[in-house]
């Protein structure tokens, strides 16, 4: 545990700098927030840097708000299941569309982010608890939510927070592990929103998103 705390203290300034950048995202346009939502939809079974590159290509081609599936698909190089994820993007676009613009902030209840997370999971195809939590964290919200990807689960097992990595994460199991994770890192005085960046940097060598 001592090595974990030492690693955290070493990386904490860079982690907090990254989180400060995330908090600026919510102040930007709905289009920028939608781009983060799409990034999180792309991430299952794909590397975050490749998903980020895909988003940049979509922005450069001006396809986030008006591209068809056949337009979007070539931009998703490196993203797993690109046909499905192109379709998820288009369906998400329809959910948040307000005329020719997007209105995503009105779907975010700042007073009840748990409710917002559940709403996203229910209405946005391709979003589970991990993706919805990731999205909220990446726009500077959801600070007490766990992003339970393989890197995080691997390290939770390593430190005895969980006994084994579950094959499937049901809602009940996700929330159960999230609570255990909160309790564990509260004792170590490491904020929840910083944990995944700490573990991701350990596994990937970078503090990304």
Catalytic site residues? 130, 149
Torsion of CA 84, 125, 92, 64, to 10 degrees: -30
By DSSP bridging, strand 97-98 and strand 101-102 are antiparallel
Q: Which residue has the tokens 């794909």?
A: 46
Angle between helices 150-158 and 171-187 (to 10 degrees): 60
Tell me how far CA of residue 51 lies from CA of 35, 38, 61, 85, 117, in angstroms.
11, 9, 15, 11, 21
Closest CA to 136 of 46, 12, 33, 48: 33
């Amino acid at each position: 545990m001592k090595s974990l705390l030492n690693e955290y203290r070493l990386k904490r300034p860079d982690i907090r700098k990254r989180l400060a950048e995330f908090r600026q995202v919510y102040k930007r346009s709905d289009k920028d927030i939608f781009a983060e939502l799409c990034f999180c939809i792309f991430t299952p079974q794909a590397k975050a840097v490749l998903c980020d590159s895909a988003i940049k290509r979509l922005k450069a081609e001006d396809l986030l708000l008006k591209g068809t599936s056949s337009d979007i698909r070539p931009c998703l190089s490196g993203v797993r299941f690109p046909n499905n994820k192109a379709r998820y993007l288009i369906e998400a676009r329809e959910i948040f569309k307000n005329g020719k613009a997007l209105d995503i902030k009105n779907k975010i209840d700042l007073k009840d982010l748990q409710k917002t997370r559940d709403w996203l999971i229910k209405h946005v195809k391709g979003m589970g608890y991990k993706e919805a939590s990731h999205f909220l964290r990446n726009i500077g919200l959801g600070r007490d939510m766990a992003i339970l990807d393989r890197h995080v689960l691997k390290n939770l097992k390593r430190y005895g927070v969980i006994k084994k990595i579950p094959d499937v994460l049901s809602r009940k199991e996700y929330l159960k592990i999230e609570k255990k994770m909160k309790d564990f890192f509260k004792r170590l005085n490491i904020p929840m929103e910083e944990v995944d960046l700490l573990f991701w940097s350990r596994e990937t060598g970078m503090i990304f998103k």
